[in-house]
A and B are shown apart, each in its own frame.
Chain A
Amino acid sequence: MASRTIAASPPAARTASRSAAKAQLGRGALYALCLVLSVVFMVPFYWTVVTSFKGPQEIFVFPPTWWPESIRWTNYVQVWQRVPYGTFVVNSAIVTLLDVVGLTLSSALVAYGFARYRFPGRDVLFILTLATIVMPDEVTLVPTFLLFRYINWVDTLLPLIVPHFLGGAFYIFLLRQFFLALPRDLDEAARIDGAGALRILWDVILPLSKPALATAAILAFLQHWNEFLRPLIFLNSTEHFTLPIGIRYFQLLGSQGGEPMIQLLMAASLMMTLPCVVLFFAGQQYFVRGVVMSGLKG
């Protein structure tokens, strides 16, 4: 492709006005397409919001109404009364925040070791780490469950938290790539001043790595806030449920007859989505950068 010779001279210039008009038409079409796609993506959201404010009769009105008769904020309050939604939120918050802190810090520690130290077996260990990213974790599910059952951690939040304090393969990889790009002079200087490994990591490397840490933290948040399979397996009693499992529980309650609760389910789902959206807008730059970093270097 690169060796192709330039054979033809540019085609005779068309009249400027015609090509300008064509360009404008093309831009209009692109714009229209963007708008249509945005509507397609956003309509389910809009519909959820509208439904979440409707009354139990109005949700079954046909043809559907595009705006609630009256905005029932009480739906949002009812969610917290019908199920222990507050408990779900607290559990999810505990698990997610501890996972984010644990994963980011422990992965930074390990990534620093991989990026800056030479020791026998390092490369083998690192390649093993990369391999575990591709390996589906379903294959370790049963023994992991049996292990936690053996030490009586089933139906506590511990199995969802503690393992993440030992690092995560993907986050180690992400941070190692970032640390490798940092100049060594700074930590060499600190070392000459007598600083130890942890001090250098904490005082020199981490402050320079805020963007990468933010990226790792955001990705970790989304992953663990959403996590479904493991909480489903490890948690049995309602008071230990995290949000995804709690909302599933709410859905089951609703399908067992009684008053229709779809509007409440919608409200519950929206409240669960909100932190992700807020986080996205707060950290958009890190977010996009993280996705691209993990993508192009994968």
Chain B
Amino acid sequence: MIGARRAARAGSRGGLRRREAIEGFLLVSPWGLGLLLFIVGPLLASAYLSLAEYSVLRPPRFVGLDNYAKALFEDPIFWQAIQRTSLYVVMLVPLGLAASLGCALLLNRGVRGTNLFRTLFFLPTLTPIVAGAILWTWIFQPEVGLLNYALRAVGIQGPRWLSSYEWALPSLVIIGLWGSVGGSRMIIFLAGLQGVPQELFDAAAIDGANNWQKFRNVTLPMISPTMLFNLVLGIIAAFKVFAVSYVATGGGPAYSTWFFVYHIYNQAFKYSQMGYASALAWIFCVVILAFTFLQFRLSNRWVHYEGEREDRL
């Protein structure tokens, strides 16, 4: 259709169209420049550096796939970082999704004061990550911290939280949950829930469905696109965890919270291994994109799109 219109416009209107194209180009040119300077250019440079040895002081030296081989076969901390980051993702994402959905369901019931509760749930997510990490460091303090005090009150001897190998990572998961459960994810779920038509619940009620069956067979399929969106973003965000471990644990104890981005950061900016760090960054990027792609591929098995919805981008 556009082709036909274009053909009809050829000739006298060609100049007008060219003017439109030039103006359009000019309008998006700042972003074109930004894309080139700060994304495409660095991407290419990083791809090259990942094949080189470069410690800033001397010019880069091409070493082929050595950096990737080093990561996979020689660097034990690489696998530690992969394992700890995966564990963090596996713990944080399902718990976070379930808790956010739970809170949204609760708020969707329209109890009195819903707005107040929504605000109270939301406030922790406004706390800057650094501030949140510092505040929780104090709550997790083993001897005089609030959490172990509360546990002692019910007869439990609390662990050493951030300074214990086993508990440091779960502690960071707790901080992550506190800072994300009531946030945008919950708000998005809430909007999704409000979009479920009441007729479906009425129909289910007529069929004699109980609350669980209504949730399982009406609510969940209807909000599955929202679920997919939150899942994809949640996994990406969890993989990128950095600041909280940098501030609260420094990657320790004994590398127990040595996350992937932490490893990249250290190699690049502590040890000036710019080439190796670039290879790590590319592995990280491929892992994230692969996960994202996989989720979209698998999504047609469980995500339900109701009839004709507006164009999804």
Contact = CB atoms under 8 A, between A and B. Distances in A.
Nearest to A61: B144
Interface stretch (B78-86, B156-164, B237-245): B237-245
A238 interface: no
A266 B31 contact: no
A42 B30 CA distance: 43
Interface stretch (A13-21, A73-81, A206-214, A221-229): A221-229
Interface centre among A43, A106, A129, A273 (most CB of B within 10 A): A273
A243 B127 CA distance: 13
Given A45-B124, A135-B285, A138-B261, A269 B268 contact: no
Contacts of A62: 143-144, 149
B49 to A, nearest CB: 6
Given A110-B30, A120-B21, A134-B236, A44 B130 contact: no
A265 interface: yes
A96 B207 CA distance: 55
B166 interface: no
Nearest to B103: A37
B42 A140 contact: yes
Interface centre among B24, B217, B281 (most CB of A within 10 A): B24
Given A6-B207, A64-B149, A118-B21, A41 B268 contact: no
Given A60-B144, A135-B285, A296 B138 contact: no
A22 interface: no
Contacts, number: 281
B74 interface: no
B144 A64 contact: yes
B131 A143 contact: no
A48 B139 CA distance: 9
A266 B138 contact: yes
Nearest to A64: B149
A64 B191 CA distance: 41
A149 B127 CA distance: 32
B21 A295 contact: no
B251 to A, nearest CB: 14
B203 interface: yes
Contacts of B299: none
B1 to A, nearest CB: 13
Contacts of A30: 106, 109, 111
A146 B187 contact: no
Nearest to B218: A1
Contact of B126 (A244, A251, A277): A277
Contacts of A147: 37, 41-42
Interface string A256-298: 0000001001100110110011001000100010011011111
Given A125-B32, A251-B134, A41 B178 contact: yes
A47 B85 CA distance: 29
A288 B24 CA distance: 32
B180 to A, nearest CB: 11
Contacts of A110: 27-28, 30-31
Contacts of B33: 166
B172 interface: no
Given A118-B20, A143-B41, A145-B268, A136 B131 contact: no
Contacts of A45: 123-124, 127, 135
A166 B37 contact: yes
B131 A117 contact: no
A109 interface: yes
Nearest to B112: A31
Contact of B121 (A41, A116, A129): A41
Interface string B39-52: 10111011001000
Nearest to B190: A292
Interface of B: 17, 20-28, 30-35, 37-39, 41-43, 45-46, 49, 56, 103, 106-107, 109, 111-113, 117, 119-124, 126-131, 134-136, 138-139, 143-144, 146, 149, 178, 181-182, 184, 187-188, 191-192, 203, 205-208, 217-218, 221, 226, 229-230, 233, 236, 239-240, 242-243, 246-247, 261, 264-265, 268-269, 274, 277-278, 281-282, 284-285, 288-289, 292, 312-313
28 contacts: A1-B221, A6-B206, A11-B208, A34-B117, A42-B120, A42-B123, A48-B135, A60-B144, A63-B149, A107-B31, A110-B27, A118-B21, A118-B24, A134-B289, A136-B288, A138-B261, A139-B43, A139-B282, A141-B264, A142-B268, A146-B56, A197-B27, A226-B129, A228-B130, A229-B261, A262-B138, A273-B131, A280-B122
The 5 A-B residue pairs with the shortest CB-CB distance in the complex, in nearest-first order:
A113-B27, A117-B24, A166-B34, A269-B131, A295-B188
Interface of A: 1, 4, 6-11, 27, 30-31, 33-34, 37-38, 41-45, 47-48, 51, 59-64, 106-107, 109-110, 112-114, 116-120, 122, 125, 128-130, 132, 134-136, 138-147, 149, 163, 165-167, 172-173, 197, 222, 225-226, 228-229, 232-233, 243-244, 247-248, 251, 262, 265-266, 269-270, 272-273, 276-277, 280, 284, 288, 291-292, 294-298
